[in-house]
């Protein structure tokens, strides 16, 4: 009888304990069926007779759902009982039936678990017969040129400022620029002998004859204009002849009627030439009225001479046209030469200045558009890979590997893998997420990562040196890193590798980075590695 009573007491105590434990932690959801992409409210409530230290779950506890929001702990005291509740907003972007696993909660020094919940995620049903129809949005290539230019220059303010200054300078100096690059505007047609002497006489009217020096200059230019005219049209030695020789030649031509100049014209021209000789050689300075009269006589004689000259022949016209074409060609070549020298000089000066400031190799790589430098200089993308996953910053976003995954483990299925490389594959970056049915012992984690070394050898890495160390992210998450140097037999180039592993409650995550030796690759490698962040494991 006593044995039966003891058994009954033990069963009652166990039942009471189970009932108490089942009632101390409860979980509820607002619905067991939601639409894809819609937030689901998940509430955890803890009942306790006294206030204790309660550790609620983190974001990794709701897989396959993603945690998007959570509220502070709400505490209610009712009938000598404490009620602690916390609400979570979770979401799923996949269709199907899912199980929210049992959620572990620590109260004091004991662990408790909620019941698992089944949730059905449905697609949004769309009835196209009951909605309005709209035009298809234009593709990117139909955007305006201004919109595309705005997107490309969004972060290139120096280029925008330089372009604006260049436009204003071009508008302000447009006439000079057009004249510089159009040789035809800089070539004046060749003047005939009569047009040339008329122009020179017109220039004589602008000379101030108040000083003796200017009077001497006036008569020098006056006689030179006449002699040049006679040199070209009448007597080919007019410039080197004396006054008497030139007048004698003009009289001879008049007598033989080779040049129909009048006797009176010869006398008037001789008078001016003799006065000019006195000014130049005898320091004789006539009065102003005489000077003005000489200029008037010269203008009259030029008008008479213009009527004596015959019309230019076709041959002379062709020679004049040929002269203009040759002058145009010569001027165009000079302009091209000036622009080429100026552009080359500017390029060399900019190259030297940039070389002194940034280094000549860096400047040269900028000019030839070195891919690694371009990747290092562009705006990088920081994103999370996995759910939850690892955060990393890379030149371009990693793409999901759907097939032919690398670094597979027989005992651990892969959940997702992401990949990035440059065009030559001199740098390759992998982020992989693996799941495990049981908790992995941290002491065995290093040996698990070692199998990646075999994978690297199968990918062609040789002469691998191996080093093990602890790895800490900027947000103080801890992991294991295996690194070293190696030879890549694909192109027989030296390089290095890094394998980083992080343990999680549901498995582990790995980072594999393969880098050849090359300019800027080490900077890209350091920036990627230093950007890696992982969720810290809470201490038990």
**Which of 474, 316, 249 shows the shortest CA–CA distance to 382?**
474
Side by side, the strands of the sheet bearing 104-107 are 54-55, 104-107, 110-113
Per-residue pLDDT, 527: 92
Per-residue pLDDT, 480: 93
Mean pLDDT for 52-58 is 78
**Distance of CA 484 to CAs 239, 274, 465, 467, 502, Å?**
92, 103, 5, 6, 19
Query: Cα 441–446–448 angle (5° rounding)?
Result: 80
Residues 5-15 have pLDDT tens digits of 454 444 444 44
CATH classification number, 378-531, choose in 3.40.190, 2.30.30, 3.40.50, 3.40.1000: 3.40.1000
Q: Which residues contact 222 (CB under 8 A, 6 or more apart)?
A: 201, 204, 272, 276, 294, 295, 298
Rounded to an integer, what distance in angstroms lies between the CA atom of residue 69 and that of residue 483?
38
Which spans in 116-262 are helix H? 145-152, 157-172, 174-181, 193-204, 212-233, 243-255
Topology agreement, domain 23-122 and domain 378-531 = no
Q: What is the mean pLDDT of the chain?
A: 79
Neighbouring CB atoms inside 10 A of 40's CB total 23
Side by side, the strands of the sheet bearing 33-35 are 33-35, 117-122, 96-100
CATH architecture of 23-122: Sandwich (2.60)
What sign for the dihedral angle of Cα 92, 90, 510, 398?
positive
Neighbouring CB atoms inside 10 A of 204's CB total 20
What sign for the dihedral angle of Cα 449, 451, 456, 459?
negative
- The length of the chain is 540
The helix or strand, by DSSP H or E, that contains position 472, with its residue range, turns out to be strand 467-472
Least confident of 123-132, 135-144, 466-475, 511-520: 135-144
Q: Report how far Cα 508 is from the mean position of its chain's Cα atoms.
A: 38
Residues 93-138 have pLDDT tens digits of 888 888 888 888 888 778 888 888 888 888 766 555 555 555 554 5
Place of tokens 């609620």: 56
Per-residue pLDDT, 19: 40
Mean pLDDT for 157-177 is 79
Question: Peptide bond before 64: cis, by omega within 30 degrees of 0?
Answer: yes
The DSSP code sequence of 71-102 is -PPEEEE-SS-EEEEEEEEEE--S-EEEEEPP
Mean pLDDT for 212-235 is 84
The DSSP code sequence of 263-298 is HHHHHHHHHHHHHHHHHHHS-----HHHHHHHHHHH
SS3 content of the chain, % helix, strand, coil (to 5): 45, 25, 30
Residues 401-442 have pLDDT tens digits of 888 888 888 888 998 999 999 888 889 999 999 998 888 888
Rounded to an integer, what distance in angstroms lies between the CA atom of residue 200 and that of residue 207?
11
Rounded to an integer, what distance in angstroms lies between the CA atom of residue 10 and that of residue 394?
62
More confident residue, 117 or 49: 117
Give the residues across from 421 on adjacent strands: 428
Rounded to an integer, what distance in angstroms lies between the CA atom of residue 40 and that of residue 384?
22
Mean pLDDT for 313-338 is 71
Question: Peptide bond before 181: cis, by omega within 30 degrees of 0?
Answer: no
The two beta strands, 33-35 and 117-122, are: parallel
Neighbouring CB atoms inside 10 A of 177's CB total 13
Tokens standing for residue 511: 């980072």
> Per-residue confidence at 316, pLDDT binned at 50, 70, 90?
low
Q: Which residues contact 4 (CB under 8 A, 6 or more apart)?
A: none
Give the residues across from 90 on adjacent strands: 40, 67
> Per-residue confidence at 540, pLDDT binned at 50, 70, 90?
very low
Residue ranges covered by each domain of the chain: 23-122, 193-308, 378-531
Place of tokens 């306790």: 48
């Amino acid at each position: 009888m006593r044995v039966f009573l003891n058994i009954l007491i033990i069963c009652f105590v166990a039942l009471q304990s189970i009932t108490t434990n089942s009632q101390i932690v409860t979980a509820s959801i607002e619905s067991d069926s939601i639409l894809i992409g819609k937030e689901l409210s998940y509430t955890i409530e803890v009942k306790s007779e006294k206030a204790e230290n309660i550790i609620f779950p983190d974001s990794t506890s709701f897989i396959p759902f993603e945690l998007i929001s959570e509220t502070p702990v709400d505490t209610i005291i009712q009938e000598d009982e404490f009620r602690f509740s916390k609400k979570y907003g979770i979401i799923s972007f996949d269709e199907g039936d899912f199980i929210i696993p049992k959620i572990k909660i620590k109260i004091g020094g004991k662990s408790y678990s909620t019941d698992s919940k089944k949730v059905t995620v449905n697609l949004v049903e769309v009835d196209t017969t009951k909605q309005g129809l709209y035009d298809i949005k234009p593709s990117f290539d139909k955007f305006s040129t201004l919109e595309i230019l705005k997107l490309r220059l969004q972060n290139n303010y120096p280029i925008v400022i330089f372009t604006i200054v260049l436009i204003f300078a071009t508008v302000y100096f447009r006439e000079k620029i057009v004249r510089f690059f159009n040789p035809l505007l800089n070539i004046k047609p060749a003047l005939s002998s009569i047009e040339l002497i008329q122009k020179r006489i017109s220039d004589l009217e602008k000379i101030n004859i108040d000083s003796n020096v200017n009077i001497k200059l006036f008569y020098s230019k006056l006689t030179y204009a006449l002699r040049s005219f006679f040199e070209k049209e009448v007597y080919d030695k007019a410039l080197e002849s004396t006054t008497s020789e030139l007048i004698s030649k003009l009289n001879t031509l008049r007598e033989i009627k080779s040049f129909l100049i009048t006797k009176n014209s010869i006398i008037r021209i001789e008078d001016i030439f003799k006065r000019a000789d006195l000014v130049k050689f005898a320091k004789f300075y006539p009065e102003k009225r005489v000077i003005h009269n000489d200029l008037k006589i010269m203008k009259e004689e030029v008008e008479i001479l213009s009527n004596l000259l015959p019309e230019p022949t076709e041959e002379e016209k062709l020679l004049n046209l040929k002269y203009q074409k040759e002058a145009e060609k010569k001027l165009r070549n000079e302009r091209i030469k000036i622009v080429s020298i100026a552009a080359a000089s500017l390029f060399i000066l900019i190259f030297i200045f940039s070389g002194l400031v940034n280094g000549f190799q860096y400047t040269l790589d900028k000019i030839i558009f070195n891919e690694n430098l371009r990747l290092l200089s562009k705006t990088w993308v920081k994103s999370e890979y996995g759910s939850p996953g690892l955060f990393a910053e890379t030149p371009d976003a990693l793409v999901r590997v759907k097939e032919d995954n690398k670094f597979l483990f027989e005992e651990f299925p892969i959940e997702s893998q992401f990949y990035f490389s440059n065009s030559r594959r001199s740098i390759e970056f992998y982020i992989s997420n693996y799941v495990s049915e049981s908790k992995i012992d941290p002491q065995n984690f290093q040996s698990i990562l070692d199998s990646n070394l075999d994978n690297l050898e199968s990918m062609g890495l040789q002469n691998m040196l191996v080093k093990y160390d602890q790895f800490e992210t900027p947000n103080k998450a801890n992991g294991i890193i295996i690194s070293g140097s190696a030879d890549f037999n694909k192109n027989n180039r030296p390089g290095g590798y890094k394998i980083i592993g992080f343990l999680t409650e549901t498995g582990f995550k790995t980072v594999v980075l393969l880098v050849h030796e090359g300019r800027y690759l080490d900077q890209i490698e350091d920036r990627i590695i230093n950007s890696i962040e992982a969720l810290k494991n809470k201490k038990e």
